[in-house]
Structures are given as C-alpha cells and as structure tokens.
Amino acid sequence: MTKEQRHEMIMDLLIRQGSVLVTDLVAQLDVSAVTVRKDLTELEKNDRLYRSHGKAVLINPYINNRSVNEKEKLATDQKHAIGREAARLITRDDSVCIASGTTVHALARSIQPVHRLTVVSASLPVSNILSQHENIDIIQLGGMLRHSSLSVVGEYSARILEECSFSKLYLGVDGIDFEYGITTTDMREAALNQKMIAAAQKTIVLADSSKFGRRGFAKIADMDAVDIIITDAGVSPKVVTKVEALGIDLIIAQ
C-alpha cells in the first residue's frame, strides 16, 4: 500500500467514525506505529485532521476565540432556525436570562413577547435588539466589556445575578464535549455562565451542529447541568443518540 493509499484510507475511516485510534490504524493498515504517526503528522500539517492522545480526529476540537463580527457570518441559516425554536419556549409573563454569542442574537430577533417579558442580558446586542419592544423589561448586566463578544463579564455582573431568579437561561457555547462538558473560550465568561446556571430553573443550550465534539478553553459546566439543547438539522444520528442517552431534551430546528 502506498502512502497516498494509506492517507486515503485514514481519511475515509475518520469521515465515517469521527475519530480513530493509532493502534486500530496499525492493525488495519498493517504497518508499524511509527509509519502511522508519520502519516498522521503529515495529514495534520495539511489541516486534514487533528492528533490527540493516541488517536486522530477529523477536526481540531479546540476552539479559538473569534470576534462577534466573524462569528455572525458562520452558520447563519442554522442560527436563525435555532433562534426561532428557542423563542417558542418563552411563555406569558416569563423571566429569562440570555447570555452572549451570535446564536442568542438570533434568539433575540425572534422574540415576540406575550404580555410582559423580563430579560436579564449579558449581551449588548441582545439588549439593543430587545429594546425595540416596549413590553420587554431589560436588565442589562454591568461589568467589564469583552470586545470580541460585545458582552460583559466580571464581579459586577455576578453580584446582580445573585439577586435574580429566572425560569430559563439561554446559553450560547463554543463547544459541547460529552465527556468534558460545555465550554467557552474565555474564563471570565465561563465563571459568569456558572452564576447564570445557578440562578436559572432550566438551562437551554443553543448550539449549531458544528459545536459538538469541540472544546473551548474554559469549562462552563458538566453535561448534567444542561436541560435542553437546541441545534440544527445537520446534527449526526450519533450525537442525537448520545444526547438522548444523557436525558437531555433535544430540539432540532428545521
């Protein structure tokens, strides 16, 4: 088998399985571990896979911080669909908390309040969007501004949350790893998100299907802190099975 044939077989296995162990590749390719590692190194340099702890995965699971303007251009149709589904969960005279991220911006654009709605928001764009509705009472959290997300973080925000209780938290995340939990790219944001979870009766994660199997730098919580995940139709059957096995309600936006 030539090097090109091995590379093709490795990529085929990754596309079908999502990840593959070095030991399994040694057996299937009938070559040495050294040869497999060299193949994986070359494929990684060409950005075709990511190596991690004795295995290869199809995509780099670690998320880099990006600006909100850059994120707004990614998966826009999926985010709009997710936002519409999330807005349907808001009930009459509800009180909710909305964290930060471009997916919650889509939620804010879809909200049509029934009677009165109270929103606690960490996101400046969310507060700005909702300010168009006179029957929405907005509590804008204060604190240090994160320029990349146009949201606030820090102790001032956390103190306000200690005095609040709301029915739902809408949380955008940068990664969902079933073993590690939900994550973001900023430790300060993760700490504030933890305060939000503590103040909410139900945590609703809004995440397009690309977020599954990924990790941000900062852990927000384990998966058992999540009550509902709303994602798009691109989610794989394998992910659906895992989410349901964890007892988390899954809403797939069409």
- Residue range(s) in the chain whose domain bears CATH number 1.10.10.10: 3-57
Q: Which helix (H) or strand (E) holds 6?
A: helix 3-17
Q: How much is the pLDDT for 83?
A: 96
Give SS3 for 4.
helix
- Residue range(s) in the chain whose domain bears CATH number 3.40.50.1360: 68-253
Cβ-in-10-Å burial (0-12, 13-18, 19+) of 148 comes to: middle
Give the mean pLDDT per block of 10 residues along the chain (254 residues): 90 81 92 92 85 78 57 75 97 95 94 92 96 96 89 92 94 93 93 96 95 89 97 94 96 95
Sheet of 181-184: strand order equals: 175-177, 181-184, 218-221
Main-chain phi, psi angles of 77, to 5 degrees: -65, -40
Q: How much is the pLDDT for 253?
A: 96
Given the candidates 3.40.225.10, 1.10.3210.10, 1.20.1250.20, 1.10.10.10, the CATH classification of the domain at 3-57 is 1.10.10.10
Q: How much is the pLDDT for 204?
A: 98
Q: How much is the pLDDT for 63?
A: 56
Q: How much is the pLDDT for 60?
A: 61
CATH number of 68-253: 3.40.50.1360
